[in-house]
Chain A
Amino acid sequence: MTNKKFDLVIKGGRVVDPALGFGQDAHLFIKDGRISAIESDSAEMSRMLKTLDGDQVIDASEKLVVPGLIDIHVHLREPGREDEETIESGCRAAAAGGFTAVCCMPNTTPRIDNQETVKFVQDRAEGASARVYVVGAITKNIEGKELAEIGDLVKMGAVAITDDGHYVQNPDIMRRALEYSKMFKIPVCQHAEDQYLVSGGVMNESFQSTRLGLKGSPAVAEEVAVLRDIALCRVTGARLHIQHISTRRAVEAIRQAKREGVNVTTEACPHHFVLTDEEIGKEFNTNLRVNPPIRTKEDRDAVIEGLVDGTIDCIASDHAPHSEEEKDCEFDQAPSGMIGLETTLGLVKTYLVDRGYLDWGDAIRKLTSNPARIFGLKGGTLAVGAAADITIIDPDKKWTIRAEKFRSRSKNSPFIGWKLSGQVYKTILGGKVVFEL
C-alpha cells in the first residue's frame, strides 16, 4: 500500500475496452495493482495530472490503451524441455507480445495430468511477467485411453482441459470427457485432427504437397473431427472449444453449429490467417511445419471470414517453441510448431486491422474479453476494480521481426525479417510495468 492517491496514471491514450463497450481518449488511474478510475480529459484533470510525479505517469498520447492481452493457447515447455522455453522465459515473451495472461498446454514432460504438475507450474509462475493459467490433460498421459483426474485438476486451478497435440480419437472417451467436465463448468478443448486421416502427413494435402513430394495431411481430417465433436457437444450439452481452426469446412461447421445453439467456441492462430501452404515453396522451411498445417488460400480466407463474422471467437498464438537444433533438419523429420507470442499482435494489426477485416475494437475483443469469457478467466477488461493488467500499443509503429530480439528461448518463427505495423509499447501486469519498448 502506498500513501499516494494513485500508483500509476496512464494519460491521454485512446482507451479501448470491448468488455465495457468503451472506446475514447481517457486517462487510466491505477492504485494497489487495480484499476481505480477511467476519466475523460478535462481542465480539472489536466491540473491534477500536473501535480503527479513524473515516474507515476505514462504518457500514452497517440497510443492505444487496452486490457492486457490473453493467449489461451501457449506451450511453455516446462517441465521437461527447458532448453526450448521455461515458464519464466515464456512469460517474458508474453509480456513483450503484450500478453498479461497465458494458458499453458499440458503436453509437457511429464504431462500436466495430475495435481502435482499443476502445482509445479503454478509455483514456477510466481513472480513471472505474465499470469499463467494451467490447462490440464483430458486423458492420462495424453494417451486418449482413460480420463485424467479432471476434478482434481480443476480443484488445483486448471481452467480447461485438452490433449493438445493429440486428438482424442476414441469418440466414447471424448463423449465422457464432455459429460464429466460439465460438473466443473470448464471447456473441453480439442486439437481436432482425425489421426487415421492425417496418416503421417507433414504439410497440408494440396497441390503444394503433390509438387514437393511431402506427405499431405488433408483438411478433411480436421473437418471430420470438428463435425464429430460438435455432434458430441450437442448430445452432452457440454462446452467444447476447438483449438487452432484451419480449414474452410471446419469454420463452416462451427458457424452452422453456433446457429443451432451448440455450445462451441473456437480460436484461430496468426499463421493460419496470414500464411498459405505455398510459402513452403521450394525452401522446405521447417519453421512452416505446424500442426494443423498451414492450408490453402481458400482456407486462409475462410479463417479470416470466420474472424470477421464472429464464428471464430478469439485469436491465440499456439506459441510452440522448438530448439534450433530440432528444427535444423529434414522437413519431414522436424517437430511441428512455431513461436507466436511476440509476433501475434503485429500480425493481427498488419493483416487484419490494416486490411480492414477487423477494427481495433474487434481485434482487441478477440485478444482479451472473448478468451477470458471462454476460459472463465478474470481479466480482459479495464473495469474499475479489475487487476491493472494493461497493454499499451503504438498502433502504427513500423518494425521488423528480428530473431535476436525474441525473449523466447526459441527462435522458430517463419516471420523473421517480416515488416509489421503496430507494436507493443508497454505491458503492465498488476500495475507494474513488465515490458517496455
Chain B
Amino acid sequence: MSHLASRHLLGLEGVSKEDMTLILDTADSFREVLDRTIKKLPTLRGITVVNLFYEPSTRTRISFELAEKRLSADTVSFSPSTSSVQKGESLRDTVQNIEAMKIDMVVVRHKSSGVPYYLTQCMDANIINAGDGTHEHPTQGLLDMFTIRRKYKKLEGLRVVLVGDVKHSRVTRSNLWGLKTMGASVALCGPSTLMPYEVERFGVDHYTDIDEALEGADVVNIMRIQLERQQAGLFPSQREYTNLFGITRERLKRLNKNYTIMHPGPMNRGVEITSEVADSDQSVILDQVTNGVAVRMAVLYLLSGRKKEEGADND
C-alpha cells in the first residue's frame, strides 16, 4: 500500500498534490467496486472504526458507515444525545474511554473547529475529520474534486466557483485548499457579509456579483444558506438572497458550455438553487453522494494500519 504523508486526515490545507492524487486514484478503483453486485471487500477486516458524530448529519454519517462496511471494518456509531456526554463527560474522557475498548480509527464530526486535531492529542487512533465547525470537511472536498475529475478527466485549468455562505462553510475551505493544490482556478461568490475576512489572502478570485463570478466558469458548487444567518442579520431576507445569488437556469448562460452543477447538500430548493437546475442533466449532486462512499473508502483504506509506532509521522 502506498502511504499518505500523515496518519490522520484533519484537513486539506497543506496536503500535497501527490497525496490527494493518491486518494483520488484509489477512490477510482473503489468506485468501480460500488457498481458490482457484491460491493464488499475484505480490506479492513479486523479494523474497528468509531463514528463520533457530535453534530447531526445524514449523508456524511451514512456515507462513512457504508464505506466502512464495504471494506469489512467493524463499526460503532456514537451519538452524544444517548451518551455520557449528557452527564457532563469531557471530550477527552469520552474518546479515551472509547479508545480503551481497542478501536483503530475515529471518524469525527463536531461543531467546534479544531476538534480532530485535539483528538490526535488525546488518542492514538487514526483520526478522520468528517467536518469540524467552520474549519474543514476534507472528505467532502475530496469527493467534490473526485466528481469533477471523473467528468473532465482533470482538475488543472478548470474554473470552479463556490457560491453562497462561503464564510461559514467548512466545505468551501476544503474545496479551496484542495482545488488550488490540484491546479484549478477557484472563485468565491456570496454576499459581502458572508465572505470570509481577508478572503483575498487565500489567493483566489472573489465576487459579490454572481453574474460576474459565473462568467467562463466550468463548475458551480453551491454552498447552503442557513436561515440562522438571516436571523443574525447577515442578509435581509431569503427572497433577496435568491434574487441576488440564487442559481437559476437564466444565470447558467454565463458558464462554459460543458458546465457542471454541484451542491454538497442539504439543499434549500428555491433559495440557493432552483429545482430546475438541481435536477438538470448538468447536475451531479447525486453523483457526489455516490462518489463520497468511494472517496471515504479510499481514505479509510490508505490510513488504516498506520499506527503511531510505524513512524513517518508528520502530524
Contact = CB atoms under 8 A, between A and B. Distances in A.
Interface stretch (A46-54, A129-137, A202-210): A202-210
Interface residues of A, number: 22
Contact of B133 (A206, A207, A214): A214
A211 B136 CA distance: 9
A329 B114 contact: no
Given A283-B117, A331-B114, A213 B133 contact: yes
A45 interface: no
Contacts of A213: 113, 132-136, 170, 173
B90 A332 contact: no
Instruction: Assign chain B's interface to a size class.
Output: 20 to 34
A212 B197 contact: no
B136 A207 contact: no
Contacts of A284: 113-114, 117-118
A282 interface: yes
Interface in B82-120: 90-92, 110, 112-115, 117-118
A331 B90 CA distance: 13
Nearest to A199: B232
**Which of A212, A325, A331 has its CB near the most chain B CB atoms (within 10 A)?**
A212
Contact of B197 (A210, A283, A332): A210
Interface string B186-227: 000000000011110110000000000000000000000000
A210 B199 contact: yes
Given A213-B132, A213-B134, A213-B135, A330 B110 contact: yes
B13 interface: yes
A280 to B, nearest CB: 9
B113 A212 contact: yes
A214 B170 CA distance: 11
Interface string B128-150: 00001111100000000000000
B65 to A, nearest CB: 24
Contact of A205 (B110, B117, B197, B199): B197
A282 B117 contact: yes
Contacts of B202: 210
Among B114, B115, B196, B197, chain A packs the most CB atoms within 10 A around the CB of B114
Interface string B245-286: 000000000000000000000000000000000000000000
Interface in A64-82: none
A331 B115 CA distance: 8
A329 B201 contact: no
A333 B112 contact: yes
B117 A332 contact: no
Given A205-B197, A206-B198, A284-B117, A325 B112 contact: no
Most buried by A among B10, B112, B135, B170: B112
Contacts of B173: 211, 213
Nearest to B135: A213
A254 B13 CA distance: 39
Interface of B: 10, 13-14, 90-92, 110, 112-115, 117-118, 132-136, 170, 173, 196-199, 201-202
Given A214-B134, A284-B118, A330-B118, 11 more contacts: A209-B197, A210-B197, A210-B199, A212-B114, A213-B113, A218-B197, A282-B117, A329-B92, A330-B110, A331-B112, A332-B133
18 contacts: A207-B197, A210-B196, A210-B199, A210-B201, A210-B202, A212-B113, A212-B135, A213-B113, A213-B132, A213-B135, A214-B135, A283-B117, A284-B114, A325-B90, A328-B92, A329-B90, A329-B91, A331-B114
Which 9 A/B pairs are nearest by Cβ-Cβ distance? A213-B135, A284-B114, A330-B112, A213-B134, A207-B198, A213-B113, A210-B196, A207-B201, A331-B114
Interface of A: 205-207, 209-216, 218, 282-284, 325, 328-333
